[in-house]
Amino acid sequence: MKKKNLAALLMAGAMSFSLLAGCSSGGGEASTPPASQPGAQASQPAGNDGNGGEAVTIKVGGIGPTTGNNAQYGTATQWGAEIAVDEINAKNGPIKLELQYEDDTGVADTAVAAYNSLKDWAKDAPLVIYGCTTTQPCVAVASETFADRYFQLTPSASSPDVTNGKDNVFQMCFTDPGQGNAAAEYLKSAGLGTKIGVIYNNGDPYSTGIAEAFIAKAKEVGLEVVATSTYPEDTTTDYTVQLNACKDAGADLVFLPIYYTPASLILAQAKQMDYAPIFFGGDGMDGMLDMKGFDKSLAEGLLLMTPFNAAGTDERTKTFVETYQAAHEILPNQFAADGYDCMYAIYEACCQIDGIADMDSAQLCDALSALFTGGQFSVDGLTGSGMKWLTTGEVSKAPVVVKVEGGVYVTQ
Amino acid sequence: MKKINKNSLNGFINYGIVIAAFAVIQALLGMGRLSNSLQSLLVPACCYIVMAVSLNLTVGILGELSLGHGGFMSLGAFSGIAASILLQNAIPLAPARLAVSMAVGALAGALGGVIVGVPVLRLQGDYLAIVTLAFGQIIKNIIMVLYVGVDERGIHIAASSERFDLAPGGTAIIKGPMGAVGVTKLATFTAGFILILITLAVVQNLVNSRAGRAIMALRDNRIAAESVGINTTKYKLMAFVTSAALAGAAGALFGLNYSSTGASKFDFNTSILVLVFVVLGGLGSIRGSIIAAALLYVLPEMLRGLGLNDFRMLIYAIVLILVMLATNNDQLKALLGRVIPKRKGAVTSG
């Protein structure tokens, strides 16, 4: 018996060492995509770069959940950004980007630790923070970058608290209240839904933020909200109580400002109980059609507001979708597209800054912030063209409402 | 010369370890040799050490399983944050405000401990585990819908955002699922160090006192202890509430180390994480809790720096399993016993 235990211990030890050996090579490859290799080799403190002909490398530190409950959103923002960085570095332009992505597991204190390890990674080279993916960690990191003077651009942290009072933090996504207001105004103008039910996650700032703004705006424009029901976390699996509340109140439209994983269960359970209102969702709903094992017919007729359509026909979207699918075997969602746009926003802004070669992180932060709020700077991306930023850090771009028809998005 | 009691000697060694670690880290900080990432881990590591030592009082020394230690931390964190914001003008000196906030956090934790402990500690068996588990969830869910703010009319508390009418210019302290946002960071490593010393003083003196012996007697044999006239509920409550108060103080320090803290941080996983520190450090061993909490909290972040980013969670889990297997392996213990002759091979308490 004792010998068996010792043997088990040795085996476990051997296994973990083989794992360590395996990932020292494998992990290295995964974190540096081949195309960014030249950029990585050319990396040097920008201050030493005397001759104007050589490219300046800007270090981009990404933060988001790649493990845990929110991993699918974090990996999407990581992969989207990686594609953009590869494209940018392949251009051989005046600026090269070097991306390092750290896992924050969707938790604020881990995100701050991740941010600090990115500071160690960059050392004295100019660093720009890209992230975080989720709201709560982003608020914690934003106040750190504000104090330390690093420029920060988040792909998807949408609460106004992220940018509130900080001149160095900018968003690529709509803010939560902005999206709630836009949803209510759209329903009013499209004449959809006489009685509206709302189901949201009251443990999530994103979901609560949209729902509260939507309900307030609905009252203002004269929409009737007949039922409001909540659930505490996205790992909930049974939504029949919430659906029944909407059904009993006679709601013919249900607004779901939630992420696609719980929303897919809501659609399936509504079908089982023969409840067929119009479902209307926010940008967190994008990605549902590409979930493994999801019956696309459930989403037929679903309306959602999203800045990105993977079935888009323009050249840039097509290339992005193809590259993304080739690398990761799934369709990119708006998180990935926002990530892609963030890299281009950083790149194009850096190209417009004079004397960037001699700047440190704080100077770069001030220069970028001034440019973003200057009113002249705009970026074309996958999630909008001519995107500009307000002095509050909010992006201004038009929300697009799409309807799922035959398993693809049709712009309304 | 009076001979020093073995238990007190053990306690002095614990103080010595903590003070030595503090001195080494301060020296490294002074020389600028500590990376940013390690610096950012100092305060939370102190919090988790206090959490582990205080939970050890309940689990290791009292012998009752508590699965809701994160709930007490949450109570401490949010009451501490609220106190620090409310007292902003009354106590301008940051360290003093931090101390008061931590005291408020400890009081809130103790209050929670009394509320849970009074009815439940009268029961026998695994009830405490179940109730503390539920308690942690209840605290999390309450804070998620709680809106607290202050303006010139006074303090506002509401259970939904519609009823939360803060005058313009007022400060929102807790905003439902967003948690506390815009907190002025007051926590310092020195404060964490002092909190560990206070925790050690409280726990070690309690364990070595008459009350402590009564508590351990209850753990070892409740019936025998009752038969010699030990008041079961009183001593159980004493250990449990002390543990909850210390967790509240640690929570306040933790909350004041970040500019935003959400209720979802202090969920079941956090309670289990602290329990893992206690179990791997050795039930009843204060020193084990300190070392396990410090190492296991810092480990996942250290793995980032080694280029093992993709596998760090996996490696963390494997390390936990290996430690568990190693500490329970008789042959390894015998081997250790041969290397260190005085070691008897069993985990000694203290």
Q: Per-domain residue ranges for chain B?
A: 6-143+178-339
CA A269 to chain centroid, in Å, comes to 27
CB within 8 Å: B308 and A6: no
Contacts A112 to B, Cβ<8 Å: 40, 258
Same domain, A282 and A293: yes
Same domain, A284 and A333: no
Contacts B308 to A, Cβ<8 Å: 20, 23-24, 27
Same domain, A269 and A343: no
What does R_g of chain A's alpha carbons equal in angstroms? 23
Residue B278 reports pLDDT greater than 70: yes
Q: pLDDT 10s per residue in chain A (412 long)?
A: 455 666 666 665 555 555 444 443 333 333 334 444 343 344 444 444 444 467 899 999 999 999 888 888 899 999 999 999 999 999 988 999 999 999 998 889 899 999 999 999 998 899 999 989 998 899 999 999 999 999 999 999 999 999 988 999 999 998 999 999 999 999 999 988 889 999 999 888 899 999 999 999 999 999 999 999 999 888 889 999 999 999 999 999 999 999 888 999 999 999 999 999 999 998 888 888 888 888 888 999 999 998 888 888 889 999 999 999 999 988 898 999 999 999 999 999 999 998 898 899 999 999 999 999 988 899 999 998 889 999 999 998 877 899 999 888 888 7
Is the CB of B16 inside 8 Å of chain A's CB atoms? no
CB within 8 Å: B258 and A112: yes
Same domain, A298 and A321: no
Same domain, A191 and A287: yes
Q: Evaluate whether residue A404 is within a structural domain.
A: no
Asked if A1 contacts B318 with a C-beta cutoff of 8 angstroms, the reply is: no
Segment B97-102 shows an average pLDDT of: 96
What is the per-residue burial (b if ≥16 Cβ within 10 Å, else e) of B234-266? Answer: ebbbbbbbbbbbbbbbbbbbbbbbbbbbbbbbb
- Please state the φ and ψ torsions of residue A27, each to the nearest 5 degrees: -65, -35
- The pLDDT of residue A324: 95
Strand partners, A195: A224
- The pLDDT of residue A11: 60
- Out of B37, B181, B318, whose CB is closest to A117? B37
Mutate to test the interface with B, among A6, A101, A134, A139 (most CBs of B within 10 A): A139
Same domain, A65 and A148: yes
Q: Evaluate whether residue A285 is within a structural domain.
A: yes
Count of the separate structural domains present in chain A: 2
* pTM confidence score: 0.87
Closest residue of chain A to B258, computed from CA coordinates:
A140
**Mean pLDDT of the residues in chain B:** 89
Same domain, A283 and A371: no
Structure confidence at residue B134 as a pLDDT band (50, 70, 90): very high
**Which residues 300-319 in chain B show a CB within 8 A of chain A?**
301, 304-305, 307-315, 318-319
Q: Evaluate whether residue A23 is within a structural domain.
A: no
CB within 8 Å: A165 and B176: no
Residue B170 reports pLDDT greater than 90: no
CA A26 to chain centroid, in Å, comes to 26
Contacts A204 to B, Cβ<8 Å: 177
State the CATH number of the domain containing residue A57: 3.40.50.2300
Q: Evaluate whether residue A40 is within a structural domain.
A: no
Q: Check: CATH 1.10.10 for B6-143+178-339? A: no
CA of A26, closest CA in chain B: separation in Å? Answer: 9
**Which residues 54-93 in chain B show a CB within 8 A of chain A?**
none
Segment B135-154 shows an average pLDDT of: 90
Same domain, A289 and A185: yes
**Tens digits of residue pLDDT in B189-239:** 999 999 999 999 999 999 999 999 999 999 999 999 999 999 999 999 999
Residue B337 reports pLDDT greater than 80: no
Asked if A103 contacts A134 with a C-beta cutoff of 8 angstroms, the reply is: no
- The pLDDT of residue A37: 39
Same domain, A360 and A284: no
**Tens digits of residue pLDDT in B297-319:** 998 888 887 766 677 778 888 88
- The pLDDT of residue A89: 95
Q: Evaluate whether residue A287 is within a structural domain.
A: yes
- The pLDDT of residue B86: 93
Rounded CA-CA distance B90/B84 in Å is 10
Q: How many CB atoms lie within 10 A of CB A140?
A: 27
Tokens, residue A380: 């074309």
Same domain, A300 and A181: yes
CB within 8 Å: B325 and A16: no
CA of B230, closest CA in chain A: separation in Å? Answer: 41
CA of B111, closest CA in chain A: separation in Å? Answer: 25
Asked if A254 contacts A280 with a C-beta cutoff of 8 angstroms, the reply is: yes
- The pLDDT of residue A4: 61
Residue B2 reports pLDDT greater than 50: yes
- The pLDDT of residue B248: 97
Same domain, A255 and A331: no
CA of A311, closest CA in chain B: separation in Å? Answer: 31
- The pLDDT of residue B291: 94
Same domain, A290 and A319: no
Is the CB of B32 inside 8 Å of chain A's CB atoms? no
Closest residue of chain A to B265, computed from CA coordinates:
A107
Look up the domain containing A212 and give its range.
177-306
CB within 8 Å: B181 and A161: yes
